[in-house]
Structures are given as C-alpha cells and as structure tokens.
Amino acid sequence: MSEPNDGLAATPSEPAETIAEIYDRHAPQVERWARRLAGPRLDPEDLLHDIFLIVLRRRHEFRGEAKISTWLFRITAQVVRWRRRNDALRRWLWGRHGGELAEARTSVPTPVEEIERREQSARLYAALDRLPEKYRTTLVLFALEGLPGEEIAALTGTDVGTVWVRLHRARARLADLLVEEKERTS
C-alpha cells in the first residue's frame, strides 16, 4: 500500500492542490518550523510569507516524489538559514560601522529634527553667553573647535593647567545654567 501523496503534483486519482490550499493546510506547521528554527530574533510571520513566495515561484519544481511537507521543510530551513546569516551580518556590520551607518541614515534631518536642533543650539548659546568670557572662550575652543589644551593655552596666553581648570569650571557652570534654563521653561 503506497503512502498518500500530499504534494502539488497530481496522481492519476487526485487533482493537484492550489497554492491557496497548500497555504491553508501547511501554513501553521511551516510557521511553527520557522519560529523554532529562527529563534526570537526573526519574525516568523515574515519568514512564512517569504517561504510561500518561494513556494509560489518554485511550484513547478515539485515533482511529487516526496511529501510536500518535506519539500516545504527544506525551503523553510533554507530561508531561515539565509535570514539568520543576513541578520548576523547586519548585526556585525552595525557593531563595526554603526556610527557611520547612523550618520548616513540621519544625514538629512526631518523638519522637526531641524527645529529641535535650532532650539537646542539657541539654549546652548544663551547659556554660553552667561559664562564669564575666560570660561566661555576656553570651552568654545575645546568643545566646539576641537582644539587641544596646548593650542588653547598658546592662543589665550595661559598655562595648560589653567586651560584644564577653566574647562572643568566652564563645564560645571554650563551644566548648572542649562538645568536652570530647563527648570525655568518647564
């Protein structure tokens, strides 16, 4: 006695199933396989759709020599393996080049981001204007211009130690001024 054919190909006594019938009959099982093979990182519903798109494209390749569930499992395993590999590669690239990728993704700010940036900049410069000139100059040269302490000392005619003390005091006062500004506007 032969095993019943659960495949796409028709036997002399049974007609071929449509893709919709295969999906209805096997989707829960395929989704369960995808969920278990993929783990928590990948979306099983997304995988399910990818799997059945492949089934739709490759339905002509199924010859009926094996069960359709075997064919579906092989497709599921390949899709999951491919997605896990791509996910791992994406995580590795993000970890290695995350800053560059984030900059590339956010190189064009939205109008809301631009307004927020302008407001933050205005608050920062208002607070900087309230600092004594010697602290403001040191902080601007270091934090905004990116100059090293030695060059700031040469530009301002002070010792390097004085630059670091002014920078420390400027940061502390600026932080206090920004907190005051935030409390005043809240």
- 50 is a domain residue: yes
pLDDT per position as a tens digit, 56-109: 999 888 888 888 888 999 899 899 889 988 888 777 777 765 555 555 555 677
156 in any annotated domain: yes
4 is a domain residue: no
Give the burial string for 161-184 (b: 16+ CB within 10 Å, else e): ebbeebbebbeebbeebbeeeeee
Asked if residue 8 belongs to a domain, the reply is: no
Measured over the CA atoms of residue 45, residue 46, residue 51 and residue 52, the dihedral's sign is positive
Supply the CATH number for residue 115's domain: 1.10.10.10
Domains held by the chain: number? 2
39 or 163, greater pLDDT: 163
Are both 163 and 127 inside the same structural domain?
yes
Residue 42 lies in a domain: yes
pLDDT for position 5: 45
Mark whether 62 and 132 lie in a shared domain: no
Task: Report CA-CA distances (Å) from 136 to 22, 122, 124, 129, 160.
Answer: 72, 15, 11, 7, 16
**Better-scored residue on pLDDT, 11 or 90:** 90
Decide: 30 and 48 in contact? Cβ < 8 Å: yes
Residue 37 token pair? 């093979």
Domain range for residue 30?
19-105
Q: In angstroms, rounded to a whole number, what is the distance separating the alpha carbons of residues 101 and 33? A: 33
